[in-house]
Amino acid sequence: MAGEDRHMAIFVTTTKPKALLKAIKQAIDGDTIRTWEYDKDGDFTHTPKQWNKKAWLRPHAEDGILRFQFMGQEGVETTDALYGAYHGRFIEELFMHFRSDFDRVRAP
């Protein structure tokens, strides 16, 4: 994986960032969320063939924030389409399954 780009992240404002992260992983494990997976490091990747393992979202639970840092794959250009797919579709999952667990979400 290429290094972190601190400008490319999803910021989720929540009072319980660790609990939300755990709930997201449980939803993936329980097949409630079917188009995302996470690896042994806890990084999320989008599973449709077009996007699979071309990037990752690395979670960081901080005080009042659950941040998902975008990580591009080494040798794969981070296009607007790739960035948009990962950020947009992950945010969509948050709204569909966890809307009551956060106050705000943003992706600069």
Residue 11 has pLDDT above 70, yes or no: yes
Range of the domain at 82: 4-106
In the chain, % of residues over pLDDT 70: 94
Least confident of 3-17, 40-54, 55-69: 3-17
The count of domains in the chain is 1
Cα 45 to Cα 10, 35, 67, 76, 86: the distances in Å are: 14, 9, 15, 14, 8
Q: Looking at residue 7, what is its pLDDT?
A: 61
**Residue 20: which CATH number?**
3.30.310
Question: What integer best gives the mean pLDDT of the chain?
Answer: 93
What is the average per-residue pLDDT within 7-18? Answer: 94
pLDDT of residue 97: 98
Question: Two tokens at 55?
Answer: 């990037």
pTM given for the model: 0.91
Report the sign of the C-alpha dihedral through residues 76, 51, 108, 102, in that order: negative
